[in-house]
Amino acid sequence: MQEDGQIMGEQNSFIAQSLYERGWVVVDHYVPEPLRVALSQEKRQLLSHGEFRHAGIGKGDSFAIRPEIRSDKVFWMDESDLSQTQAAYWKLMDELRHTINQRCFLGLRSFECHFAIYPPGSFYLRHLDQFQAVKYRVVTVILYLNDDWKEDDGGALRIYLPATDGEESYTDILPESGRLVVFLSGEIPHEVLPTVRERASITGWFRDVAY
* Chain residues in the site for Mn ion (CB under 5 A): 129
* Cβ nearer to ligand OGA, comparing 52 with 124: 124
Give the list of residues 6+ apart from residue 138 with CB closer than 8 angstroms, or none: 106, 107, 108, 184, 185, 186, 205, 206, 207, 208
Shortest Å distance, C-beta 69 to ligand OGA = 11
Sign of CA dihedral 105, 141, 70, 154: positive
Q: Degrees (nearest 5) of the Cα angle 175, 178, 181?
A: 60
Q: Which is nearer to ligand OGA, 31 or 192 (CB)?
A: 192
CB 92 within 8 A of CB 173: no
Name the binder of 201 from Mn ion, ligand OGA, none, CB < 5-8 A by kind: ligand OGA
Closest approach of Cβ 161 to ligand OGA, in Å?
Answer: 15
Q: State in angstroms the smallest separation of the CB of 190 from Mn ion.
A: 6
Q: Does 192 bind ligand OGA (CB under 6 A)?
A: yes
Closer by beta carbon to ligand OGA, 104 or else 116: 116
One residue of 15, 157, 184, 200 binding ligand OGA per CB under 6 A = 157
Binder among 19, 100, 139, 142 for ligand OGA (CB under 6 A): 142
Amino acid 27 reads V
Beta bridge partners of 199: 118
The closest alpha carbon to 39, from 14, 11, 75, belongs to 75
Nearer to Mn ion, 42 or 129 (CB): 129
Tell the smallest beta-carbon distance from residue 118 to ligand OGA (Å).
7
Name the nearest CA neighbour of 208 among 144, 153, 139: 139
How many angstroms separate the CA atoms of 211 and 55, rounded? 21
Smallest CA-to-CA distance from 138 within 36, 49, 208 is with: 208
Number of chain residues interacting with ligand OGA (CB under 6 A): 9
Least Å from the CB of residue 129 to Mn ion: 4
Q: Which of residues 105-124 bind ligand OGA (CB under 6 A)?
A: 116, 124
Q: Which amino acid is at 117?
A: I
Q: How far is the CB of 87 from ligand OGA (least distance, A)?
A: 22
Q: Which residues bind ligand OGA (CB under 6 A)?
A: 116, 124, 129, 142, 157, 190, 192, 201, 203
